[in-house]
Structure 1
Amino acid sequence: MSDATVPAVPPSAEEAPAVPVLPSLVDQAERLVALGLVGAAPGAPSADELLGAADRLGGAASAGSLLVVADAVLPPSALVPGLRRRVGGRAPAEKPGFVVADMPDIDDFAPTPTTVVPDAVVYAATDPDRGDAMRNWSPAEAEASILERGRTPFTVAEGVHWALQAPEVLARNACYMMIGSRLRKAKGFDSRTPALWISNGSGRDGRERRGAPKAGWCWWNNRHTWLGFASGAARVA
């Protein structure tokens, strides 16, 4: 994408909170175990198997990589409720994640032809980036730029795993889309594009969900000032 076609980031959204550093892959595996996500589904690795895989991948993947359990084993719908975001005020609370009402088919969003995911139950995604510089870009614009730079957009499962391990990666005015997953139709793809952001508690979300992590969607050709595009450098199995 040439500089002339790069959408401007509005001044109010230029400064984004720092992206948290991920712990070791073994620590990430232990968190998934603590959340009760291991062994809960057919084909899911046991705690020992996951820890062993994480230890092995730790020797192959760079520091700061993200541990991922394949969505065939742990689909996004099973992961999203494990998301938490601390909301302050007089009575601080942790709000659980949720999937928007008009995306009941979130698990049907699959990797695109240019998003090559390893045929492995457990793998690592290296050098995760929130794509803050691409806020106010459309998914179509961001996809072209990510691929031109030799990177790979995150799938829904990868994006949710990231927020599970580092809740602070979702911040006001700095959340992200996951354009490595799309829903196939008879011709082409569904225009809905998966994203993770923070609910304002309006509409069908419900006031009680204000401040909660929200898995939803945006249109493929639309731009949003608060959404970047999660991507990685590579996947290691």
Structure 2
Amino acid sequence: MTETALDGGAEFDRQVRTLIDLGYPAVSGLGPERFGALVAPLRARAAAVPAGPYGPESGRVPFLLVVTRGVAPIEETMPLTALHGGRLPGFVDRSFEPGALERFVPPEGLELPAPDAYLLLGVERGEEFCGVVPQDAVRTVAERGRTPLTIEEGIALVTQFPQVLAKNKCFSLGGSRCGDRRVPALWISKRAPKLGWCWEGNPHTWLGMASAGSRAGAGG
């Protein structure tokens, strides 16, 4: 995929193959046939995504196929990620106390189009927010009519485009909150992707705020 041309149908098929090759059908307990049937209705919407100034190296991609934790648990999908050119599996930081991940859900006002799988459109890594307080970054994202990414969406981004997660260009996931001051984030640790969290009032020079233009289910 380049920054000037996009075959949405072919890119959707690539993303599905990536998930199948990584073992998502087994992780979900659905098997290849049922997993394929789950995501297949989204292909037509993906095929309609227009070409645009997108490129993984610049931190922007046209769409992502997102499979939610209700189908594939975060604890099992995070280890299926890896850095670009790397082999070490991603991991969940131990700072998440037992049961914490289940409490990080979309805040009020952030609606998902489908409970199991959907498309995330117009994705940006958000390195412009490096050094910005996360709560301020989320506010700016909302003012632009965009939406912060959830944990599952962040994992989908690194799974499909591992080159997006780069040194000094990591990102917070303000679309998943648990009612306290913690904001989940993906960064690099021990030569692998790590899902951790940072305080909403603490800026980091290497941590931006990922966002998207919209979400879409099979119907639009």
- Matched position secondary structure for 1:194: strand
- State yes or no: 1:59 paired with 2:39: no
Q: CA deviation at 1:176?
A: 0.3
1:181: which partner in 2?
176
| TM-score, length-scaled by structure 1 | 0.76
- Inter-partner Cα distance in structure 1 for 2:47 and 2:216: 11
* 1:102 aligns to 2:89 (yes or no): no
Aligned to 2:180: 190
2:199 corresponds in structure 1 to: 219
**Structure-2 separation of matches of 1:113 and 1:129:** 22
CA distance in 1, matches of 2:182, 2:39: 35
| 1:127 matched residue in structure 2 | 122
Q: Measure, in 1, the Cα distance between the counterparts of 2:215 and 2:84.
A: 30
Pick the structure with more helix per residue: 2
Shift of 1:211: 1.1
Q: CA deviation at 1:75?
A: 2.8
Aligned-residue offset at 1:54: 3.9
The residue identity in structure 1 corresponding to 2:90 is G
Cα offsets for 1:110-169 (capped at 9, x unmatched): 001132211342210101001111111111101110000000100000011100001111
Q: Is the 8 A contact 2:39 2:117 kept in 1?
A: no
Q: CA deviation at 1:215?
A: 0.5
Q: Distance in 2 between matches of 1:172 and 1:152?
A: 24
1:61-210 equivalences under 5 Å are 61-62=49-50, 64-86=62-84, 94-103=87-96, 104=98, 105-183=100-178, 189-199=179-189, 210=190
Aligned equivalents of 1:119, 1:125: Cα separation in 2? 11
Residues 60, 236 of structure 1: 8 Å contact kept: no
Paired AA for residue 29 in structure 1: V
| Residue 33 of structure 1, aligned match among 7, 17, 20 | 20
**Given that residues 70 and 121 in structure 1 are in contact (C-alpha distance below 8 angstroms), is that contact kept between their aligned partners in structure 2?**
yes
In structure 1, the residue matched to 2:56 is: none
Which segments of structure 1 move beyond 6 Å, counting only runs of 4 or more?
A: none
Structure 1 236/214 Cα, relative in aligned 2: closer, same or farther at 3 Å? same
1:65 maps to a residue whose letter is F
Deviations 1:169-198 (A, max 9, x none): 110000100000001xxxxx1212100000
- 1: CA distance, partners of 2:194 / 2:146: 25
How far residue 47 of structure 1 moved from its aligned partner, in angstroms, is: 3.7
CA contact (8 A) 1:26 1:54 kept: no
Whole-angstrom distance in 2 between the partners of 1:62 and 1:116: 24
Aligned length: 198
Would the aligned equivalents of 1:39 and 1:47 in 2 still touch at CA under 8 Å?
no
Determine the structure 1 residue equivalent to 2:54: none
Match of 1:232 among 182, 204, 212: 212
Amino acid at match of 1:66: L
